[in-house]
A = this chain, B = another copy of it.
Amino acid sequence: MPLLRFDLLEGRSATEVKALLDAVHEVLVEVFGVPLRDRYQIVHQHKTEHFLVQDTGLGLDRSKNVVVLQVVTRPRSKDQKLAFYRQLCHQLKMKCGLNPQDLIVSLVQNTDEDWSFGLGEAQFVTGALGGDHSSRGTKSSV
């Protein structure tokens, strides 16, 4: 369920984008306990003049690899969110060589009735999809 929007500068190859999306999805599955196929990822690549990212005075260096990730999700606990940022940072460094200074995440929450995955149904309301669990890839865990 979480719907993810990635904003990047132009220049990543399809292979690089795939590695990024795969790594982020693995963290989602692990930390939020969503099913393996609960994957909704959208990428926008921008010219430099259309993508302006500074550092809020934190002294971070942003490079041309900077990633802004927006996530819309049902409510997650504070612990889950903090673990998500931490794991994301770690895994993207390991798997994509992303500098931890180049990762910005912003979450927005909605609720069960705010999702329809197809067929005109709200699957969290009808019961076709259940609540959150921490097990990996169970179909009832979204």
Chain A residues at the B interface, C-beta cutoff of 8 Å? 1, 3, 7, 14, 17-18, 21, 34-47, 49-58, 60, 68, 70, 72, 78, 81-82, 85-90, 100-110, 113-123, 125, 128-129, 137, 139, 142
Contacts and interface: CB of A to CB of B under 8 A. Distances in A.
A110 B113 contact: no
A54 B81 contact: no
A94 B117 CA distance: 19
Given A3-B70, A40-B104, A117 B55 contact: yes
A93 B109 CA distance: 29
A100 B118 contact: yes
Contacts of A110: 106-109
A58 B106 contact: no
B70 A72 contact: yes
A18 B87 CA distance: 35
Interface centre among A58, A70, A110, A122 (most CB of B within 10 A): A58
A121 B115 CA distance: 29
A125 B83 CA distance: 13
A108 B70 CA distance: 12
A105 B121 CA distance: 10
